[in-house]
Structure 1
Amino acid sequence: MRGRRTTPRQAIALTLMAVASASILAACDRQVETTKSSPRPVRTTTIEKRESLMPLTFTGRIEAEDEVSVAFRISGRLLANEARLGDRVEAGQLLAQLEPQNELSTLRQAKAALSAAQGQLTQARNHYERQETLLAQGWTTRASFEAATQARQTAQSQVEAAEAQLSSAHDLVSFTELRADAPGKITATGPSAGEVVQAGQMIARIARQDGRDAIFDVPAQMVRSAPADVQVTVSLTDDPKITARGRIRQIAAQADPVTRTFEVKVGLTEPPAAMRLGATVNGRVETSSGPVIDIPATALTRINQQPAVWVVDPSTNVVSARNVDILRFDQAQVIVSQGLDAGEIVVTAGVQALHPGQKVRVLGSEP
């Protein structure tokens, strides 16, 4: 079977196509060689170790620096309770009162006993004076005079005992009234009128007007690592612009049996009026975590399913990948715990287009 003959025109067209294809392939090879040989521009930063301040934040509440629970010294039925939550009280102001019938009866009995003792003392004194005169005149015996003296002393002792009982009865009557011992604000109230209360039972709790504390529950590790004289910045949770400063005033000697945290009291310096008792606040403390290495967040990439960075060899400008351990990070900065040393150069821009052994051209270093 005879093949088909190629005409001169077709031969010329095939030759031109072959020449064009060869030119295109040569141009592509030149472009690939140029791409492989030209360093990729990147931005870098030089690693430095810096002193880092690690902020610690806790949530707590505002309480009075000096808060006391007031109670009756005796038991009885509550006649009235004038204490109202949130009320301001002055020193000596009446807060509550017990029914005083029994105490008033005791007072009347003590007064009557004193009157009787005073009458007996008067009689004993008169008898003593008569015996003293008769003894001087020789009309009585020494024994009668000594008996009169003894009776006078006994009557005097009975009067003194009756006076003590009367004073105790007055105290019992006064104990039926509960008064504030200092100005402040009532933060809690107890039983209502008509209830029977026991001695020492809380009737009201008064926050005295001599300071404010911010109370926080802090883990034991933070208590041990906190500096001796640390300053705490306290701000309202619902309005962080309202702040106050303070220092740790007291740390609980024993941990809470449930949470295993320690109660820390921070004494506030001139707290604003908006920091009312019971308000929820945040406390912020900055503690030194020692020298750390920080890099821009743009330098971080992921290789072998682990965080990594590109390190530049300053002698050859060739990059190599290195896995690192991250301590903490945010949107702008990454704190590296292991994997980098001071003085090394790390790529911060262009990390996604690099491969191991690639040569780069440094455009500029970031501070």
Structure 2
Amino acid sequence: MVRFPSPFLAALLVVGLGLPARGEPAPAAALPVGTVTAQRMAIDKPLDFVGRVEAVGRVAVRARVTGYLEAVAFTEGDPVKAGDILYRIEPDLFEAAVKQAQGALERGKAAEALAVIQLQRAQDLLDRNSGTVVARDQARAALDQARGSVMGDEANLETARINLGYTTITAPIAGRIGRTSVTKGNVVGPDSGVLTTIVSQDPIYVTFPVSQREFLRYQQGGDRPDRNKVAVRIRFQDGADYGQVGRVDFVNISVDRATDTVVVRAVMPNPAGALRDGQLVRVALQVGEPEQKVVVPQAALIADQGGVYVFVVEDGRAVTRRVTPGSGGAGPDAVIDEGLSGGEVVIVDGLQRVRPGIAVLASPVGPSASRI
């Protein structure tokens, strides 16, 4: 027959084995959480604006002479170099005009040579008292007239050659060419309007309006930075960063009365042609020196009616810390202006089950995937 120990002996066994006594709840196991150490980092203080990309050079290509369009020698949308042939106008009539002007010039030169001979003859006769002063003066006037005619013929020839050159329309600048408004076989001329447009690619402008409030704030500041040293960075509409850094090169001399803003222009390198004329971008101006700020992952932030807070681990327990997020964060990181001093162990994983004062088992999950 099996005999059970007395209650006194059972109590001794419980105490000896460290088991909870009857009626006392067992202590809760620590909740495993993932943590990151709050870091102090040098953070830029960018000013954000909405900007528009503008080409440095823009040329509206037009025809300067009238004629049948013989060829369109480019592919729409392709890059072109200065001097590349874009259009060819039928040159036959202009070549004939050059020859006609050359013939008129030759006749004029012959008349000039004859006038020289006649003047010399009239002078010789006058020297031998066989001629008259009137005849000599008439010969001199005829020579002057012949020389004037030659000058006009030379100008007509030059004009004809220029017009012949205009039958080949070339690119005046390097850049990317747009659509053509005319096709082969049409008659084009100065009244045909813009045939196509070329916009330069590298470098390129980015213009953006700055409010009077911001403009005056930095204009009156004692530590106002040199505009040529203000770094300009841009982001595309999908949030992707543009890899090049630009510089402010122009601030408009007047304020737009409709918007109360000042237009600022930056020059951006564009070697790969990623920026296109007319494109809308986000502009970030880096002014002043970077400041030391505390950075934590965005995933650590929790918002409620009282504001924003994070959970930090202190003595093995989760403790609430109210924080004030600042500007300048990027990607998965957030800048904290107040509430953290750096070095705190901040909970980022397992927040769904964390409650103030609960025991936690902290496991580092490594640094934030993206830093500013």
> TM-score, normalising length from structure 1?
0.58
Residue identity in the other structure for 1:167: E
Percent identity (aligned): 21
Tell me, yes or no, if the aligned pair for 1:88 and 1:185 is still in contact at 8 Å.
yes
Of 63, 68, 71, 1:72 maps to: 63
The 5 Å alignment of 1:7-26 reads none
Q: Distance in 2 between matches of 1:108 and 1:247?
A: 56
SS for the counterpart of 2:229 is coil
Match of 1:267 in 2: 269
> Cα offset for 1:165?
1.8
- Over 3 Å counting, the alpha-carbon distance change for 1:341 and 1:117 in structure 2 is same
- Over 3 Å counting, the alpha-carbon distance change for 1:172 and 1:250 in structure 2 is farther
Of 129, 137, 140, 1:149 maps to: 140
- The answer for unaligned runs of 5 or more in structure 2 is 1-6, 12-19, 219-224, 368-372
Q: Deviations over 1:123-147 (max 9, x none)?
A: 3223212211111211123333233
SS for the counterpart of 2:195 is strand
Q: Distance in 2 between matches of 1:80 and 1:327?
A: 60
Structure number with bigger Rg: 1
User: In the comparison of the two structures, how many residue pairs are matched?
Assistant: 322
Residue identity in the other structure for 2:356: L
Instruction: Give the root-mean-square deviation of aligned CA atoms.
Output: 5.9
Q: Distance in 2 between matches of 1:28 and 1:330?
A: 55
Tell me, yes or no, if the aligned pair for 1:309 and 1:346 is still in contact at 8 Å.
no
Match of 2:324 in 1: 325
Tell me, yes or no, if the aligned pair for 1:311 and 1:322 is still in contact at 8 Å.
yes
- Over 3 Å counting, the alpha-carbon distance change for 1:88 and 1:145 in structure 2 is same
Q: Distance in 2 between matches of 1:55 and 1:290?
A: 11
Residue identity in the other structure for 2:202: R
Tell me, yes or no, if the aligned pair for 1:61 and 1:214 is still in contact at 8 Å.
no
Match of 2:16 in 1: none
Q: Distance in 1 between matches of 2:299 and 2:248?
A: 44
- Over 3 Å counting, the alpha-carbon distance change for 1:298 and 1:168 in structure 2 is closer
Q: Distance in 2 between matches of 1:62 and 1:343?
A: 40
Alignment of 1:212 with 2:195, yes or no, is: no
Of 124, 132, 152, 1:161 maps to: 152
- The answer for unaligned runs of 5 or more in structure 1 is 1-15, 21-25
Residue identity in the other structure for 1:145: R
Q: Deviations over 1:230-289 (max 9, x none)?
A: 375999x8xx8xx9853426667569999x8866542146x4xxx678699999979576
Match of 1:13 in 2: none
Match of 1:6 in 2: none
> Cα offset for 1:326?
3.0
> Cα offset for 1:53?
4.2
- Over 3 Å counting, the alpha-carbon distance change for 1:47 and 1:131 in structure 2 is closer
Alignment of 1:198 with 2:190, yes or no, is: yes
Q: Distance in 1 between matches of 2:32 and 2:173?
A: 75
Q: Distance in 2 between matches of 1:308 and 1:220?
A: 33
Residue identity in the other structure for 2:324: D
Tell me, yes or no, if the aligned pair for 1:70 and 1:203 is still in contact at 8 Å.
yes
Q: Distance in 2 between matches of 1:331 and 1:247?
A: 19
> TM-score, normalising length from structure 2?
0.57
Q: Distance in 2 between matches of 1:189 and 1:303?
A: 58
- Over 3 Å counting, the alpha-carbon distance change for 1:77 and 1:296 in structure 2 is closer
Match of 1:7 in 2: none
SS for the counterpart of 1:220 is strand
